[in-house]
């Protein structure tokens, strides 16, 4: 599995990890595998797919680095982790951070 971390994710200790916002701050609605998330602190509403929901509601309930996050998502999907999935997870986690949905630990 690729372990390259985008430059902007570098941390002084070399092990950046992310964790989702407190569960109490996230209100979810789900219909037919599509998800709507209301983020209380920002007041913003987001339209998300199932992968994003799994990451925020489960996988990132504990701090994980990108390789661990990618591996866990791959396991949930029943697929082998590859570069595409790693890049996808990286982009999601970065976007979540911009939106305040995850924080670095």
User: Contact positions toward other proteins, by CB under 8 A?
Assistant: 27, 29-32, 34-36, 38, 40, 43, 45, 47
51 and 60 Cβ atoms separated by less than 8 Å: no
> At closest approach, how far in Å is the CB of 16 from other proteins?
31
Per DSSP, what are the bridge partners of residue 20?
Answer: 102
Angle of CA points 6, 28, 46, to nearest 5°:
50
Residues 6+ apart with CB under 8 A from 32: none
The C-alpha atoms of residue 18 and residue 32 are separated, in whole angstroms, by 28
> At closest approach, how far in Å is the CB of 30 from other proteins?
8
> At closest approach, how far in Å is the CB of 23 from other proteins?
14
The C-alpha atoms of residue 30 and residue 67 are separated, in whole angstroms, by 27
> At closest approach, how far in Å is the CB of 48 from other proteins?
9
């Amino acid at each position: 599995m690729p372990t390259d971390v985008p430059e902007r994710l570098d941390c002084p200790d070399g092990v950046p990890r992310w964790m989702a916002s407190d569960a109490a701050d996230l209100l979810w609605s789900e219909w037919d595998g599509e998800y709507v998330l209301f983020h209380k602190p920002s007041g913003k509403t987001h339209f998300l797919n199932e992968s994003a929901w799994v990451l925020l509601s489960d996988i990132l309930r504990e701090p994980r680095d990108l390789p661990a996050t990618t591996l866990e998502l791959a396991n949930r999907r029943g697929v082998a982790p590859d570069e595409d999935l790693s890049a996808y997870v990286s982009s999601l986690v970065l976007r979540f951070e911009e939106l305040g949905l995850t924080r670095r630990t």
